[in-house]
Amino acid sequence: MNLVHSLLIIGVTALSTLITRSTPFLLFGRGEKRVGGTILYIGKILPPAIMATLLVYALKEISFGELSGWLFDLGAIAVTALIHLKWRNALISIAVGTILYMVLVQGLFW
């Protein structure tokens, strides 16, 4: 792959991301007045549904055979849930849970 090909891939990706992210604002504006009830409902229910799907996906192959097979997973999930219940900030809770999980998996038992 040469430089031109790499730059074209980056350009197309950036343009696609820009179009995808700006289309709702172009269609509906910034206010909730023009947005229908269905769109508001989807915007309210979709984030928890995505989080539940990711949780099921993350735990689908959990192994209870040894302590490190499930302790790190469930510990990081518990910390993530507690932080989210306390501060109600998805970004902070997901970041702290992910960092904790990576530290446990990569650093605790080598």
Rounded Cα–Cα distance for residues 82 and 93 (Å): 8
Contact 109, 66 (CB under 8 A): no
Q: For 94-104, how does the pLDDT look when each residue is reduced to its tens digit (9 = 90+)?
A: 899 889 988 88
Query: What is the per-residue pLDDT for 33?
Result: 67
Q: Which residue has the tokens 């530290």?
A: 103
- What single-letter amino acid sits at 10? I
Contacts with 88 (C-beta within 8 Å, 6 or more apart), sequence order? none
pLDDT number for residue 65: 84
Which of helix, strand or coil describes residue 64?
A: coil
